[in-house]
Chain A
Amino acid sequence: MTELADHRRNRARAGDAEAFASLVAEYGPDVLRLCTLIMVDRSLAEDAAQNAWRQAWLQIHTVRELSSLRPWLLRVAANEAKQLLRRNRRHFAQSLETAPVVAGGRDPGEDVGLGDALRTLRPEDRELLGMRHVVGMNSIEIGRLIGISPEGVRTRLKRIRAQLQQELGDG
């Protein structure tokens, strides 16, 4: 990490909005990508990413190690995305109580798109998948972030990938 980057991160921690903007510019795309994969919904992902940056702004002064800023931001983003999903699920469940029952399901010949396949995974699984394949973290980094061993991360990823392949009809 360069001295300049350190300087910018320190300024962001101290409340410098310009420095914070440079962090958003640097990490914003990864945050949005991760949220998109977890939410499997573009507009909800934008909401989650926005919430994440708000939380980051409020809490960034608590980050002691500058080197852990990126994983910290991604963790904040993943948590915000999962929280938004939970809120939306509750809202959706309440809506269904008053909605008419619609019979049906997928058409027999329907192509199961990636979005549908991703929706069959748990949000936590999509989070792991995103950390590995979207923002490029390895199992050691992921394990450190979510508090499990690298072997545990690899085992879970193996199961998730197998499930995804199966859902996609490639398994």
Chain B
Amino acid sequence: MVDDEDLDPRVIARIREFSEQGMDAFDLERTVTAATRAQRHSRLRTAAVVATAAVIVVVGAATAGSLLGPRLRATAGNSPLPASIWPTLEVSPLPSGAATPSGGLTMGQAIAAARASAPQSAELPVTVAKAGPAGELLDSPEGYHAAPGLPHDRWVWVVVLFDNSAPLSGRGSIVVIDFVNGAVYDVMNVIG
């Protein structure tokens, strides 16, 4: 059964015309600015708030020890932080059963590449530094949805530079980098 059109076409036209009356006031920029001013309780912001201090410690440890040091193998065992903090961190252990590609960027190199690729966020703290297959880091419902089209088994670094110092909003960049050759696949500038 199709929708009945038992309304006079002239009335339908008047309804459409009526609904058009405010269109000249539609201001895209103002609408977006006002909407995005609201604090968003997104995964990104939550991760940023929770993880900032702890990841800085990890990055600091990696930097102090060796920039070529523990690529994501920084776990609770070699961290000065209480173990209870670690499950909330966005620095992931290597996925179980996944074979790490040989060679590849260290965390320090990945962060340096991220800063170079996102100059507007270069000075911001690192809140996330994860490596793993693109299919696990990017495409999951809670993933970053960046760099579409990458093969799922391609290993990447995801580095998030994020400023959450403002009480109601933050800004930053998500950078996706090839784990092996350092190619930058995507830079997403985000606010949260």
- Give the B-binding residues of A (Cβ under 8 A): 3, 6-7, 10-11, 13-18, 20-21, 24-25, 28-29, 32-34, 36-37, 42-43, 45-46, 49-50, 53-54, 56-58, 61, 64, 114-115, 118, 129-130, 132-134, 138-139, 150-151, 154, 157-158, 161-162, 164-165, 168, 170
**Chain A proximity mask over B17-60: 1 for CB below 8 Å, otherwise 0:** 01111110110110110111011111111000000000000000
Which chain B residues lie closer than 8 Å to A130 at the CB level?
15, 19
Which chain B residues lie closer than 8 Å to A64 at the CB level?
141
Cβ-defined partner of B32 (8 Å) among A11, A17, A49 = A17
Q: Are A24 and B145 in contact (CB under 8 A)?
A: no
Whole-angstrom CA separation of A161 from B14 in the bound complex: 13
Query: What's the minimum C-beta distance from B57 to chain A, rounded to whole angstroms?
Result: 25
Q: Are A53 and B34 in contact (CB under 8 A)?
A: yes
Whole-angstrom CA separation of A21 from B149 in the bound complex: 23
Q: Contacts A36-B19, A58-B40, A114-B15 known; A16 to B35 CB distance under 8 Å? A: no
Which chain A residues lie closer than 8 Å to B18 at the CB level?
36-37, 114-115, 118
In the complex, residue of chain B having the shortest beta-carbon distance to the beta carbon of A171: B8
Cβ-defined partner of A42 (8 Å) among B1, B21, B44, B146 = B21
Query: What's the minimum C-beta distance from B149 to chain A, rounded to whole angstroms?
Result: 7
Whole-angstrom CA separation of A16 from B42 in the bound complex: 11
Cβ-defined partner of B145 (8 Å) among A14, A118, A133, A158 = A14
In the complex, residue of chain B having the shortest beta-carbon distance to the beta carbon of A3: B148
Query: What's the minimum C-beta distance from B17 to chain A, rounded to whole angstroms?
Result: 9
Query: What's the minimum C-beta distance from A1 to chain B, rounded to whole angstroms?
Result: 13
Q: Contacts A118-B18, A132-B3 known; A50 to B42 CB distance under 8 Å? A: no
Q: Are B22 and A32 in contact (CB under 8 A)?
A: yes
